[in-house]
Structure 1
Amino acid sequence: MARVVVLTPNPAVDVTYRVAQQLVGATVRVLGVQRRAGGKGINVVRVLRSLDVDALAVQPLGGATGEAIRNQLAEDEIAAVNIDAGQETRTTVAVVDDMEHPTLYAEPGGKLSSRVWVQLLDAIANHCEPGGFLVIAGSYPPGTTSNQIGSLVAEGRAAGAFVVVDASGPALIAAANAAAHLVKSNEEELLEASGSVNLESGISQLLTLGAGAVLISRGPAGLELVSADGARESQIGVPGVFGNPTGAGDAATAGLVSALLGGASQRTALRRAAITGAAAVLSPTAGEILPSDLAVLDARLDAFADQLPTPKDSSLHKT
C-alpha cells in the first residue's frame, strides 16, 4: 500500500525538440532532443519524489515505447505497477524555443480492453490506503467511457483515499459526477468541458455534480480553489518566472498533494502548489524541479505579499 498512488491512464514517451524558432511549413533544424517517460501522472510522481514524497506510479504500458517507459522508471527507482496494455504506448512531441509557447503533438493512444480496466481497478484497491491519496492525471485513451472514469474514482474512495483528478473535457465532468474529492483543470478546459460562459458558472456546475472542490489553474495569474462548503482561496502566480511551462500544472498538483499529505491548511497547500509549479517552469524538462528553487520562489512571493488574499485557516484534507 502507498500513501500516494498516481494513475496515468494514457502514458507516453515524451519527445522534446529544442529549436531556434518554431516555424510552420519550413524545414527546422533540431538543436537538441530529449526522450523520457511521460504523461501527466508520471510527471506528478517525479515532482513528488523531488519533494521527498514516496509515490507509486500506475500505468498501462505496451510495445517498444511502453518498454522504454518501464525501463526508465526502473532506472530512476520509481516504484511502479505496470499493466500490460496489449498495444503500443503512444508518443508525444513538444517543439520548444525561447520565444513562443511550446507546440505539442500528442498521439491519441489506443483503446484499453476490459481486462486492462479491471487490472487498473485492482491496482487502486490493492495499493491505496485510508488517509492517503489517489491522483488520476492526464488524458484518457480513445473509447474511454464516463462509467470507466467514475469507477476509478469510486475505487479510490472505497479504499479510503482522497481522490484528486486532473482532467479536461468529458473526463472532468465524469470525475465530478463520481464525487472526486478534488478536480483540477485550467480555465479554458473548464469552460469548454462545462459549456459555461464564465469561470464561476463552470465551477458551480462541477460542485453541483458532486466534486468536493475545484482547483483552477490560470497560468501566470495563479490558482483558484473553491470547495463545496463555500470555502474559497485565491493564489497569485509567482511573478517574474519565465521558461518552459510544459508540466507546470503537474508540478502544481504534486505541490498541493505534498502539502495536504503533511496536514497543511488549504491556504498553505495552494501557495505550495503555486511555488512548485513555478519551479517547473524554470526547468527545461517537464516533470522536474530543483528543490533549491522553492525557497527562492517562496521569498519572491513574500515580496509581493500585499497582492495576496488574506489567509484563512481552513483544511481541505484531514487524516
Structure 2
Amino acid sequence: MIITVTPNAALDLTYEVDALTRHTIHRVRSVTERAGGKGINVASVLAQLGHEVVVTGCAGGATGAQVCADLDARGLAHSFAASDGEARRTLTVVSTSEGDATVFNEPGPVQSPEAWQSLLDHVSGLVAETGASVVVLSGSLPPGAPADGYASLVRRCRDAGAAVVLDADGEPLRLGLAAQPDIVKPNRAELAETTGVEDAAAGVAALRALGGRDVVVSAGPDGLTWYAADGTAVRARLDASLRGNPTGAGDAVVAALAAGLVGRRPRDLVVRDAVAWSAAAVLQPVAGVVDPTDVARLAAQTLVEDVR
C-alpha cells in the first residue's frame, strides 16, 4: 500500500490551444477538469499501473468537493483531513504546435495551526490503519503551514513504519531533510534553487549535509540520476526526445520511485521505470495519466548506466 499526501490539493483545468501567443485571443480546442496536485497525480499513475494507493491531504470547500467527486469517478481511494478554506485551482495551457505547457498555480487557502495539526494526525493514523509501507509527500505547502511542515510529516510517517519519498523544493525541502526522508526527488532547477549550486553532484552533496539520503535528480529529456547514500549512482535516459505535455512527468517519476520501494526493486530497474513512466506521461494531454502500452514500449528504449 502507498499513501500520497497532497497538502495543497487542487482542481486542475487544462486548456489545449494550437499555439500560445501573448496579447491575443486564443481558441481553446479542448478543456479538461480533474483533481490535481502533485500527490494526486502520483496516485493516479500508480493506480493505472496496478498499485494499491490512497490519496490524502487538504481539499476544502466546494472546490474540494469537486476534487473528491473526480477521484470517486476515477476509482481513486481517498481520505482527506479537515482543512480550512476553499481548495485552489490550477490552469495549464498546452500549446500543441510547440509541444509545451504554461502553468498558472493559485496559492491555496491559508491553513490554521489547528488544521495543520489535523493533517499530521490524519496522515499518521492513515499509515497505521492501512499498513502502508511507503508515503509520498509532494507539492507545495499551503499558506499558513509551518516552514518545516514536511519535516513533521516525514517524522510522523517514519515513526508509523513507512518509508518516505519527498518531492519538494526550496525551504520546505531544506527543512524537510532534517527528518531524513528515504528518497528526495528534485529536478535540476529545483536542486540549484534549493542549494545555490549549479553542479548536480555538488548540489546532492549539499542536500546530504542537511540530512538527505538517496537523492534522485531529474533533468527532463536528459533523463535522471539516482545518487544513493552509499556513494554509488545510476543514470537512465530515453534514447530519443519526445514532444508533448511535460506537466506530470516529474510526478510519474515519483510514482515509479514509490513503486520501486514497495517492491524492493534494484535501483537500475527503478530508474528505467521512472524514465519510461515519465516519458509516457509526456505523451498524454493531462497530468496523472499514462498508457501502460507506452510504458512497456518506452522502457525498452531506456538506456541505463552506472555513473563513475
TM-score, structure 2 length as denominator? 0.94
The AA in structure 2 aligned to 1:215 is V
Q: CA deviation at 1:103?
A: 0.7
Partner of 2:102: 103
Contact 1:238 1:278 in 2 (8 A): no
- How far apart, in 2, do the equivalents of 1:55 and 1:116 lie? 24
SS in 2 for 1:46: helix
CA contact (8 A) 1:255 1:269 kept: yes
Residues 27-75 of structure 1, C-alpha deviations (whole Å, 9 max, x = no match): 1121211110000000000000011111110021112211100111122
Classify the secondary structure of the residue corresponding to 2:81.
Answer: strand
C-alpha distance 237-140 of structure 1, shift in aligned 2 (>3 A): farther
1:252 equivalent in structure 2: 253
**Aligned match of 1:19:** 17
The corresponding residue for 1:282 is 283
Task: Measure the CA separation in 1 of the matches of 2:239 and 2:246.
Answer: 13
- Which amino acid is 1:68 matched to? Q
- % same residue: 37
Equivalent residue, structure 2, for 1:31: 29
Q: Secondary structure at the match of 2:238?
A: coil
The 2-side partners of 1:253 and 1:277 are apart by 9
2:123: which partner in 1?
124
Query: Partners in 1 of 2:64 and 2:306 — Cα distance?
Result: 47
Task: Give CA deviations for 1:260-303 in whole Å, capped at 9, x if unaligned.
Answer: 311211111111111111111111111000111122112223xx
Pairwise CA distance, 1:311:
9.4
2:165 equivalent to 1:149? no
Question: Which of 31, 37, 40 pairs up with 2:38?
Answer: 40
Q: Which aligned pairs between 1:204-243 and structure 2 lie closer than 5 A?
A: 204-243=205-244
Contact 1:220 1:238 in 2 (8 A): no
Question: Is 2:180 the partner of 1:179?
Answer: yes
What is the RMSD of the two structures over their aligned residues, measured on CA atoms?
Answer: 1.7
TM-score, normalization: structure 1? 0.91
Deviation beyond 4 Å, 4+ runs, structure 1: none
The aligned counterpart of 1:5 is 3
- What one-letter code is carried by the residue in structure 2 that aligns with 1:30? V
Summarize deviations over 1:72-107 as a string: whole Å, max 9, x none. 112222111122322111111011112332111110
* CA–CA distance in structure 2, aligned partners of residues 46 and 131 of structure 1: 17
C-alpha separation in 2, matches of 1:222 and 1:5? 26
- In the TM superposition, residue 227 of structure 1 has moved relative to its aligned partner by 1.9
Ranges in structure 2 where 5+ consecutive residues have no aligned partner: none
The match for 1:317 is none
Separation in structure 2 between the aligned mates of residue 240 and residue 196 of structure 1, nearest angstrom: 27
One-letter amino acid of the structure 1 residue matched with residue 9 of structure 2: P
In 2, distance between residues paired with 1:22 and 1:211?
Answer: 39
Whether the aligned pair in 2 keeps the contact of 1:238 and 1:274 (CA below 8 Å) is: no
